[in-house]
């Protein structure tokens, strides 16, 4: 089955659902789809990823954490 056929089958099945709780679960699943992972392996949805990047930028702009290239390389290689 190709992806287009699978997508159509899923849509038709969703249209037949009467259970509000199940529809909410499907919506949550779609809204929280894993978009990226942190360096520690934590999955992030698209909105969590955007927030994560914003936090990193804010910390960097505030000068709270400042690594030069060599320090960053060492930190990455330790993991």
Q: Are residues 22 and 38 in the same domain?
A: no
Domain that holds residue 57: 34-79
The answer on 42 and 25 residing in a single domain is no
| pLDDT (tens digit per residue) in 16-60 | 999 999 999 999 888 878 888 888 888 888 888 888 888 878 877
Residues 48 and 25 occupy one common structural domain? no
Contact 68, 75 (CB under 8 A): no
Between 73 and 11, the more confident residue is: 11
Q: What is the DSSP letter of 64?
A: S
CB under 8 Å to 65, separation ≥6 — which residues? Answer: 59
Q: The pTM is what?
A: 0.47
């Amino acid at each position: 089955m190709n992806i287009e056929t699978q997508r159509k089958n899923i849509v038709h099945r969703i249209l037949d659902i009467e259970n509000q709780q199940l529809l909410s679960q499907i919506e949550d699943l779609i809204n929280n789809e894993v978009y990226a992972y942190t360096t520690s392996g934590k999955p992030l949805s698209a909105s969590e990823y955007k927030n994560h990047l914003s936090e990193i930028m804010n910390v960097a702009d505030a000068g709270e954490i400042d690594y030069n290239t060599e320090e960053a390389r060492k930190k990455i290689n330790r993991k």
